Chains A and B, each alone.
Chain A
Amino acid sequence: MDFNTIFFGSIIFVSLAIFFYLGRFKASSKQRNREASKDKSFP
């Protein structure tokens, strides 16, 4: 197995693990606070 396969294969494995684990949880309250996320740069 070459370096390319090991390196990108590891990225795939870790990324999928992050997605399937983190995807189950709600976003932080900072994100879910819709009022705070509204852009106020325009009137």
Chain B
Amino acid sequence: MGRHNALQMLGRSGNPALSANTFKNEGIAAEQVMTLQGTVNKTGILLALLILTASYTWNIFFQTGNPAAVAPAMIGGAIGGFILALITIFKKKWAGITAPVYALLQGLFLGGVSAYFEAQYPGIVIQATGLTLGTLASLLVLYKLGIIKPTENFRLMIVSATMGIGVLYLISFVMNMFGSSGIGFIHSNGLFGIGFSLFVVAIAALNLVLDFDFIEIGAEQGAPKYMEWFGAFSLMVTLIWLYLEMLRLIAKLRSR
């Protein structure tokens, strides 16, 4: 498969929310067009919504001290968030409604997961949040200055690695469902486990560069206004993944 054909098939971003045709199929709006300012504002709104519901499950966890008390909200948030993500990807025009609901549902899930990790490793949540947002800011600076350029080879590498990680996680998940311990080393706190987590964190972080590029292209090409919600949603998907991987990495390091 040629390099260009592969990119055409796999999309320009490892983020499943973004593909080669994301902006192509949306047409050019005559009046209200996508802007960088609008996308940044909407990312802020999604972050605020996520923190709102995350604090709900977080408080329940620490008030009851019982992980089972937040399990329904967490599972509901995870499954609901996944469904909303799929709807947003296939119905981009609905992103103005589906993206905020997605953020609310993912907040329920993240609040519970974060509380669970915090109970085991006090202070881990602020460390993971700081490293996630620090990575976001650093890569944004590097992208804006043109120091990191998402070339075609760069994109192909990130897309391939992201898909590889996805397949590995899926295999591990299916093996767990059938009673196996899964692919042991990816969850271990040994050198291989930590090395794997570092690799996944790096790939998740580099996906942010592809998100920035897609948002930049959308604004440059005058995509419709609702694509601001879609761009913000795409950024949220990557940020949530990066945050979860940061949590796993720090937990592995601190459990040694």
A residues adjacent to B (C-beta < 8 A): 2, 4-5, 7-9, 11-12, 14-16, 18-20, 22-32, 37-39, 41-42
Contact = CB atoms under 8 A, between A and B. Distances in A.
Interface in B129-147: 129-131, 133-134, 136-137, 140-141, 143-146
A4 B40 CA distance: 28
B213 to A, nearest CB: 8
User: Which secondary structure characterizes the binding site on chain B?
Assistant: helix
Interface residues of B, number: 33
B37 interface: yes
B3 interface: yes
A39 B152 contact: yes
A14 B127 CA distance: 14
A12 B133 CA distance: 6
B177 to A, nearest CB: 36
Contact of A15 (B44, B137, B145, B146): B137
B145 A28 contact: yes
B39 interface: yes
16 contacts: A2-B123, A5-B126, A7-B130, A8-B131, A19-B43, A19-B136, A20-B44, A22-B140, A22-B144, A23-B40, A25-B36, A26-B219, A30-B145, A32-B220, A37-B149, A39-B153
